[in-house]
Structure 1
């Protein structure tokens, strides 16, 4: 408490947000889309994320307080409506991210414990409930902890991130050695073609969003103007390297098993060349990683909710609470976010949740790149880097929609409906003064 974060802690925070749950949740989905070139999908997504990180860092130079994309829009566009819509889009992305982590937690919990419970229902028959129940309970647990104001300390967070990286590093190194001896390692370059890798990169984009949580905590950093950029530019490449190595190992050694068990791909792969103990270690690491990611994202998104309420960008009741002056998020925001997250995690599919969250961050990161490109002259930054990020996000968006339309029509319809509802609610909320005036005028006639 009261101790400023240095570079190591800032990098840990960023890596914790990316490696904390992303690789455990999205690996199977990426492999299902693009096969042996899954590593290329992660590399492409990482490059676009790094360009977005550059845009964030550049835009942040002229901003004197934390807030990320919402503050950037307020500063550079001076539009409360645009800032509010960005904030709402970010919240949707965070809800999807937390639901994805909770879904992965439940899947790995069932795989690790072997628990199998079903609920007999009329017409549909027996419905598995072990995974949804585990997802629901882990969200409820961290909602309760955040309501009570319990957080991981900086030391605990550093140790957890180090442990996650160590587990995945051992997995990748042992797997590479094992695959090299068997002669089964491949990059799948002969199969590169079409838009498979780009589509998979779009689907995995949510796995690279954790670094931008740093922009909410920059007031807690020692010399943030120096520490924040360095943390972003260290954390994203490290995450990309780990994702690429894990993807190469997993796809090269057990491609069929990964496709059959996309929700627990890493644990299944570890069992093949590390045995039952390795599978258990990966499963336990997945539980800790996804749970920690839920906790961190819930805290940060609750603080974002509080800021949106204070700027009149969300209804006041959502941010109501008696703990909004001591650094803890308001109770009502935590409860609201936790309830929606639990609903998504219990009722949604992993593909649908991941796509839903990825779309949100593609839109926000693409907007940040466009903003940096537009103001490059005043900021003194490169035009090329944000341009690459903008092109990447511009390609990801239609490809992800096309993928959902062709392969997941039910998910596509759900995403479109939810998107229309959210945008409609945003427009109604931010245009409400004019609407109220028109209603009053019509009633007085």
Structure 2
């Protein structure tokens, strides 16, 4: 018998999923893209997440299933090449998120302890080590993963909220506050594109769907869990962006881009503040890696169960789905090959497409779910427009990221097509 999940736990699944490593990984990137308008970029991305959460609410209530997103897509499109490809994209997007978190861990860790004289080598060592450690924990015990996650959510929120209050106090009389002026914002299209590059920071609320069958009083609590967690995180991110830009000059943010949150704690709290935020980043990214490894391997297993991947993926290795090891190895490769911006872009493109498809499912099944047709349709259109703008904007500055994103999508469709064709024979 599974333990039932109350509203508080459900909200913490959503918040924990979103405030994983995302904010630590992409805040510096966001500022480099949107400058003083970064809070607005986070708002744009947040609104898109909120609209998408409406589709998730309706689908989670009507089709509560531990398969979550995978099941919704199959519900909307049947077990077709299209749904199989999108579900495979979901799995690969989890791998991309894992490499994003590991990359963030690798960027923050050398600030506490340098291993070699070279920060880049250090970051790769740390990023690889944390993936290996998290994989070992996942093999050792799933219960430990859950425990780590529940403590980590509290620790990171306490530290982030403390950062906000102390940082906000530090803004009084800080000349950098002028950087938030509208004159310091990037052009609207760039703000929007910036918001879409960092859209990955909102990925995670969809994990509530996987817990939907266990949520107490689902009619009331499922909507609350989604909306409260997404709105809370939107506010959290906007305020963090506000405090960061008001605390540090853009030049400083640029040099400390990969660990900017820790740097932003320095003006008020000095080296101690820097270290505290660094520890928070390490705990957050580690817990996110742990949870996403577990989630990623489950997605892979679900897809294979639904005949959208070969049944070889149903095999077990050391009592866990083989997908866990494949996910871990793929993450190790990605994190050591790609730059942060390419990882972030690929992750955002993946999730924008997936959420777009979920919104489309919400629209198609609006009669069955008793939902307003307009909201999912708007969500679908916005996700598609956002994907196009993101690809267009990034193509000049981050061609690699765009090519990788598109290649992954094409790869998912080709693999699914080949699998479905050979399966029929």
TM-score above 0.5, yes or no: yes
1:215-294 alignment runs, 5 A limit = 215-254=209-248, 255-294=250-289
Moved more, 179-188 or 42-51: 179-188
Question: 1:163 deviation in Å?
Answer: 1.7
Q: TM-score, normalised by structure 2?
A: 0.93
Query: Structure 1: which 4+ aligned runs deviate by more than 4 Å?
Result: 153-156
Aligned position for 2:39: 39
1:346 to 336, 345, 359: 336
The residue number in structure 1 matching 2:100 is 100
8 Å CA contact 2:356–2:379 kept in 1: the answer is yes
Q: Structure 1 residues 58-67 or 24-33, which shifts more? A: 58-67
- Indicate if the aligned counterparts of 1:105 and 1:290 stay in contact, CA closer than 8 A: yes
Which residue does 1:381 correspond to in 2? 371
CA contact (8 A) 1:66 1:217 kept: yes
**Any conservation in 2 of the 1:116–1:130 contact (CA below 8 Å)?**
yes
Following superposition, the deviation at residue 133 of structure 1 comes to 0.9
Q: How many residues align?
A: 422
Residue 366 of structure 1, CA deviation: 0.8
2:207 to 197, 210, 213: 213
What is aligned with 1:146?
Answer: 138
Shift of 1:381: 1.5
Structure 1, unaligned runs of 5 or more = 119-126, 437-445
Would the aligned equivalents of 2:10 and 2:211 in 1 still touch at CA under 8 Å? no
- Call closer, same or farther: CA 1:318–1:60 in 2, change over 3 Å: same
Bigger radius of gyration, 1 or 2?
1
Gapped regions of structure 2 (runs ≥ 5): none
Q: String of CA shifts for 1:176-209, please: whole Å, max 9, x gaps.
A: 2211333643543333633011101110111111
| Farther-moved stretch of structure 1 (270-279 vs 151-160) | 151-160
Report the CA distance shift for 1:294/1:156 in structure 2 as closer, same or farther (over 3 A). Answer: closer
Question: Contact 1:71 / 1:83 at 8 angstroms: preserved in 2?
Answer: no
CA separation in 1, counterparts of 2:8 and 2:146? Answer: 10
**How far has the Cα of 1:153 moved from its partner?**
6.7
Mean Cα displacement is larger for which, 5-14 or 334-343?
Answer: 5-14
CA displacement 1:234-256 (0-9 Å, x = unmatched): 11111111110110111122122
Q: Residue 181 of structure 1: SS of its match in structure 2?
A: coil
How many angstroms apart in 1 are the aligned matches of 2:181 and 2:420?
A: 49
8 Å contact 2:61–2:212 — kept in the other structure? no
Q: Is the CA contact 1:110–1:116 (under 8 Å) kept in the aligned structure 2?
A: no
User: Is structure 2 residue 173 aligned with structure 1 residue 181?
Assistant: yes
Partner of 1:24: 24
SS at 1:211's partner residue?
Answer: coil
- Cα RMSD for the two superposed structures: 2.1
- Checking the alignment, whether the CA contact within 8 Å between 1:116 and 1:128 is kept in structure 2 is no
Is the Cα contact below 8 Å between 1:14 and 1:232 reproduced in 2?
yes
Q: 2:188 aligns with which of 176, 183, 194?
A: 194
- Aligned residue runs from structure 1 range 81-92, under 5 A: 81-92=81-92
Give the deviation of 1:374 after TM superposition: 3.0
Give the structure-1-normalised TM-score.
0.89
The CA distance in 1 between the partners of 2:57 and 2:421, in whole Å, is 31
Give the alignment partner of residue 303 of structure 2, picking from 303, 308, 316: 308
Deviations 1:67-112 (A, max 9, x none): 2222122223323323311210101110010000000001100122
Answering whether residue 55 of structure 2 is matched by residue 55 of structure 1, we say: yes
- CA distance, structure 1, for counterparts of residue 111 and residue 182 of structure 2: 32
Q: 1:109 matched to which residue of 2?
A: 109
